[in-house]
Amino acid sequence: MRYDTALARRLALPEETRARLEAHVVARRQIMAVREAREPGLDPRTDPNDRVALASWSRGGATGRCLCGQDDRMSGTRYEAITWERVAEALAGRVDDPAAGGSWLKVGIDGAPAAPGDRLAGLLAEALRGRGRAVHLVGTGGFLRPASLRYEYGKQDPDAYYSGWTDTGALWREVFGPLEPEGSGRVLPDLWDPVKDRATRSPYVTLPPGGVLVLHGPFLLGHWFPFDLTVHLRLSPAALARRTEEAWTLPAFARYEAEVDPAGTADVVVRADDPRHPAWTGLGG
């Protein structure tokens, strides 16, 4: 099929269908990149006109090599090497603002399960407590919907994983709502146990005025959650595919990149391709 004919047919598809198709194409390229790293000489079969894919991946023999800085230089984004501890201390310094008064502050740490979001959240909580702030940690893994709803379209549906697994309504009701200016401060730490597939029945936790909520998990941006500070843990496509155990979820992350642009939306971006050597954009203005 001629390229211009294929392009015309693709553009004629409904916008939602076209977005899903493009997300699946990106995910397949990510998987093939990982296979090439493990099997030297394997043809990844990427589009020869896809400059981003060619710039992001180098045929490096048996190990492969992701040129993670290439895209960053092309976009003008500069990253500085840093440790996780220093990131946490810097974020705590930004959050610990006397001007906030008695208001509750909310920090979102967004990242795929393959990124160390829970680790950064724990370090940030420790740094804030060292500054005398009360902190409440919440992971979205405790606010998943029941299995009957998560698996309505099968256990490996990337669209359901992207928009239907996390109970965002419960997060609004049980986490963000009580921290509104006239709220009670009584926050539910978790709601559902995905292993036992039943309610956790955890007691409410009261976060005193001036306390900080730290919420971590995937797909946090794009829901209009009222965060005061957002952090996105960025993984290159190759690193995400290499470190993701459930490969069927990759189209969901490709869709998230296309629809939300988390690196362009978050206040702070930390590149975590190698979790031992993070790099970040800094706090900005």
For 225-252, how does the pLDDT look when each residue is reduced to its tens digit (9 = 90+)?
999 999 999 999 999 999 999 999 999 9
Whole-model pTM?
0.75
Q: Report which DSSP code applies to 145.
A: P
State the average pLDDT over residues 88-100: 87
**Band (77; pLDDT cuts 50, 70, 90):** confident
- CA atoms of 263 and 231, how far apart (whole Å): 9
How many CB atoms sit inside 10 A of residue 141's CB? 17
Beta strands 212-217 and 65-66, pairing class: unpaired
Q: Could you please report the per-residue DSSP string of 3-72? A: HHHHHHHHHHS-HHHHHHHHHHHHHHHHHHHHHHHHSTT------TT-HHHHHHEE--TTT-EE-HHHHH
Pinpoint the alpha helices (H) of 131-217: 147-150, 158-163, 168-171
CB-based contact 149:256 (threshold 8 Å): no
Beta bridge partners of 205: 187
Compute the CA torsion angle 66, 70, 76, 82 (nearest 10 deg): 40
Residue 62 has pLDDT above 50, yes or no: no
pLDDT tens digits for 189-222? Answer: 999 999 999 999 999 999 999 999 999 999 999 8
